[in-house]
A and B are shown apart, each in its own frame.
Chain A
Amino acid sequence: MTAFILSRTWQAALVLLVMSFVIYSLIGLMPGDPLDIMIASNPGATPEVVARLRAIYGLDQPILYRYAHWLLAAMQGDLGFSRTHSQPVLVVLIPALWTTCKLMLLSFVVSVALSMVLGIWAALKPGGVVDGVVSLFAFAGISVPVFWLALMMILLFAVKLHLLPASGLSDVGNESFGDYARHLVMPVVTLALSSIGGFTRFVRASMIETLRMDHIRTARAKGNAEGRVVLIHGLRNAMIPVVTVIALSFGSLFSGALVTETMFAQPGMGKMIFDSILSNDFNLALSGLLFATIVTLFSNLLADLAYGWLDPRIKL
């Protein structure tokens, strides 16, 4: 087990290292560079001054050198300075990370709970009415553009019905728990709906597969009550693949969070990454992308370990 954890962690670290370089290079290929912005705000700069500034900032060095430099600093906790926020990157990043985690975890709980119920219900009688309705719902869930779903929710609940606030964390001057909660409803529901379709289909398929297996038939033949058969015998086996798939979906959940945060003006990681790319805030974009990668890699690592722990056939 320890060897397995170590090897997986080592692999994840390697992927992270490679990705950090890829992201670093990609950010370097975005329009403009830090100096362009400086020069634009200072029209008097002569070419000589620009060249000197380039040398000072190390921008005339090859990319690997600059990357190594950045990496060394980053490992010591220095992620640079955010241009748009005029604050160290970490100071901007941590509250955003918190907002995103809250949003993702809440939606995750909602969508896992609902998809379990729906998936199992549908699997009890494949081809039945419930299965048909659940399937339609699941297909709708995987087929709807998240941003449009958010728009439609805003249109319906904020614009037409005036039930829920369309954006922000809370109303100005109102910091009560209820107000926070009201602001979270639409983002959480939207994000949950974006992943619920896939989960439901997976739970259903896994459950149908399991209920077909021999030991389930044996359990039925032995006279166990149907509910007991489904829950005790079926669910445990069906959960093995489900846990893996759900944990592996953190990457796409993060993609969904980016859209949701942007649509509902939630100051989370997704919106921060989006804004920082739009406004050429390179340090912030770089660190944001890196943190997003770390979070997903970490959840995948957990998925791997959970799989090993749940599946008795894998002796670790």
Chain B
Amino acid sequence: MSVMEGASVERAVSPWGLRLRRFRRHRMGMASLVILAVLVLFCLAAIPLQMTGMDPDATDLFARFDPPGPGHLLGMDEAGRDVLLRLMVGGQISLLVGLLATLIGGAVGIVIGILAGYFGGRLDTALMRFTDGMIALPLLPLLIVLGALDLTKLGFSQDFARSGAAGFWRIVVIISIVDWTSIARLVRAATLQIRERDYVRAARAAGAGAAYVMGAHILPNIATPIIVAFTLTVGRVILFESVLSFLGFGIVPPTPSWGNMLNNAQELVTTAPLLAVYPGLLIFVTVIAVNFLGDGLQAAFDPRSEK
């Protein structure tokens, strides 16, 4: 193995160091990382622009459908708003929803999967039946119902229910509620394997409790498949967000998101087709880059290439 040459001089190479090297060799993965970095910078570029006084929600009815020009590089939309600026701000929202819902849903999945896998028995059976039930459901109709719920009937105040924050958090929460199952199953399967390793037995023989074993041994050893699964989930969540917002049950205008910028696209497709192209193209590029990134990570983490 190449690591051992000059091992006495070089610092020890951790497992993570090896993975990084392998990932760097994955061309599509590296390209995706670059594309994603550019996309994030693009979205964040809205912040300085907004500080100079540009407003993504400001409408100018005399400028509706204005073609691209010096002040507005991609022109104006059907309400006379700057398309480029709305794409940037909408991207922030879409990416943020993707990350947050993945983290929350992923955390739920990790907890359910690790409990089911580690303790086994009836708890396992119950949790996995529940997970299977969730997987079986047609998610989009369910998400639409959840997106249509009246928050005041759940005890939230009128003011909150109508605020933009409620719209944002609602979509984060409802996607987290439904999209944790794949991670739960993955974590359970991996936990079942790690739990039977002798190093886990050694820790238990030394007096370690379940919490210690999970934190010190199981989580670090299943971190790589979890990272891959999280990456792929981000892509899926962004797609969910976009379709929900597009259908009118997600991020509510005037706050832009890549999905709701296409709200009126179906009517506009004859008059201003480009307005229908840009946001979708950005979603597409983002999600495909995220998926290739996940693929690259998977290749880098593949145990068959590890010694």
A interface residues, Cβ below 8 angstroms from B: 11, 15, 18-19, 23, 26-32, 139-140, 142-148, 151-152, 154-155, 159, 248, 251-252, 254-256, 258-259, 262-263, 270, 273-274, 277-278, 285, 288-289, 292-293, 296-297, 300
Complex interface: chain B residues within 8 A of A270 (CB): 141
**B138 touches which one: A28, A148, A293 (CB < 8 A)?**
A293
Residue contact A273 to B284, C-beta cutoff 8 Å: no
- Given A145-B243, A145-B280, A146-B243, A251 and B133 touching (CB < 8 A)? no
Residue contact B140 to A259, C-beta cutoff 8 Å: yes
Residue contact A273 to B243, C-beta cutoff 8 Å: no
Chain B positions 128-167 with a Cβ under 8 Å from a chain A Cβ: 129, 133, 135-142, 144-146, 148-150, 153-154
Closest to B137 in A: A251
Once the chains are docked, how many angstroms separate the CA of A26 from the CA of B140? Answer: 14
Once the chains are docked, how many angstroms separate the CA of A23 from the CA of B143? Answer: 11
Chain B positions 112-138 with a Cβ under 8 Å from a chain A Cβ: 129, 133, 135-138
**Shortest distance from the beta carbon of A247 to any chain B beta carbon, whole Å:** 11
Complex interface: chain A residues within 8 A of B138 (CB): 251-252, 254-255, 258, 292-293, 296
Residue contact B136 to A273, C-beta cutoff 8 Å: no
Once the chains are docked, how many angstroms separate the CA of A278 from the CA of B277? Answer: 26
In the complex, B287 has a CB within 8 A of chain A? yes
**A148 touches which one: B133, B262, B292 (CB < 8 A)?**
B262
Closest 10 CB pairs of A and B: A148-B280, A255-B140, A143-B288, A143-B287, A254-B138, A31-B150, A15-B133, A251-B138, A300-B136, A292-B138
Would you list 23 pairs from A and B whose C-beta atoms are within 8 A, ordered by A residue?
A18-B133, A139-B291, A142-B291, A143-B235, A143-B287, A144-B284, A145-B239, A145-B242, A145-B246, A145-B280, A145-B283, A147-B247, A147-B262, A151-B266, A151-B276, A256-B140, A277-B145, A288-B141, A289-B141, A289-B145, A296-B136, A296-B138, A300-B136
Residue contact B280 to A296, C-beta cutoff 8 Å: no
Closest to A23 in B: B145
Residue contact A140 to B288, C-beta cutoff 8 Å: yes
Complex interface: chain A residues within 8 A of B246 (CB): 145, 147
In the complex, B270 has a CB within 8 A of chain A? yes
Residue contact A30 to B129, C-beta cutoff 8 Å: no
**Beyond known contacts A143-B290, A259-B140: 20 more, CB 8 A cutoff:** A26-B145, A26-B146, A29-B150, A29-B153, A142-B235, A143-B288, A145-B242, A147-B247, A148-B262, A148-B283, A151-B265, A151-B276, A154-B269, A251-B136, A252-B138, A258-B141, A263-B266, A277-B145, A289-B141, A296-B136
Residue contact B277 to A274, C-beta cutoff 8 Å: no
In the complex, B273 has a CB within 8 A of chain A? yes
Complex interface: chain B residues within 8 A of A254 (CB): 138, 140-141
Complex interface: chain A residues within 8 A of B136 (CB): 15, 248, 251, 296-297, 300
| A-B contacts, CB under 8 A, total | 133
Main secondary structure of the interface of A (DSSP, over half): helix
Once the chains are docked, how many angstroms separate the CA of A159 from the CA of B288? Answer: 27
Total contacting residues, chain B, CB less than 8 A: 44
**Shortest distance from the beta carbon of A300 to any chain B beta carbon, whole Å:** 5
Residue contact A255 to B141, C-beta cutoff 8 Å: yes
Residue contact A29 to B133, C-beta cutoff 8 Å: no
Closest to B154 in A: A29
Once the chains are docked, how many angstroms separate the CA of A31 from the CA of B135? Answer: 27
Residue contact B137 to A19, C-beta cutoff 8 Å: yes
Residue contact B149 to A30, C-beta cutoff 8 Å: yes
Closest to B236 in A: A142
Complex interface: chain B residues within 8 A of A152 (CB): 276-277, 280
Complex interface: chain B residues within 8 A of A11 (CB): 129
Complex interface: chain A residues within 8 A of B284 (CB): 140, 143-145, 148
Residue contact A292 to B141, C-beta cutoff 8 Å: yes
**Shortest distance from the beta carbon of A81 to any chain B beta carbon, whole Å:** 20
**Shortest distance from the beta carbon of A269 to any chain B beta carbon, whole Å:** 9
Residue contact B243 to A259, C-beta cutoff 8 Å: yes
**B247 touches which one: A140, A274, A285, A300 (CB < 8 A)?**
A274
Chain B positions 218-271 with a Cβ under 8 Å from a chain A Cβ: 235, 239, 242-243, 246-248, 259, 262, 265-266, 269-270
Residue of A32, A145, A147, A274 with highest tally of chain B CB at under 10 A: A145
**Shortest distance from the beta carbon of B176 to any chain A beta carbon, whole Å:** 16
What 0/1 readout, one digit per residue, does chain B (17-31) give for beta carbons within 8 Å of chain A? 000000000000000
Residue contact B148 to A31, C-beta cutoff 8 Å: yes
**A274 touches which one: B142, B144, B269, B288 (CB < 8 A)?**
B144
Closest to A138 in B: B291
Once the chains are docked, how many angstroms separate the CA of A27 from the CA of B153? Answer: 11
Once the chains are docked, how many angstroms separate the CA of A32 from the CA of B287? Answer: 37
- Given A145-B239, A251-B137, A159 and B270 touching (CB < 8 A)? yes
- Given A19-B133, A143-B288, A148-B284, A251 and B139 touching (CB < 8 A)? yes
Residue contact A139 to B288, C-beta cutoff 8 Å: yes
Residue contact A159 to B269, C-beta cutoff 8 Å: yes
**Shortest distance from the beta carbon of B160 to any chain A beta carbon, whole Å:** 15
Once the chains are docked, how many angstroms separate the CA of A131 from the CA of B116? Answer: 37
Complex interface: chain B residues within 8 A of A285 (CB): 145
Once the chains are docked, how many angstroms separate the CA of A24 from the CA of B239? Answer: 27
Once the chains are docked, how many angstroms separate the CA of A146 from the CA of B287? Answer: 12
Complex interface: chain A residues within 8 A of B235 (CB): 142-143
Complex interface: chain B residues within 8 A of A273 (CB): 141, 144
**Shortest distance from the beta carbon of B157 to any chain A beta carbon, whole Å:** 15
Closest to B246 in A: A147
**Shortest distance from the beta carbon of A245 to any chain B beta carbon, whole Å:** 11
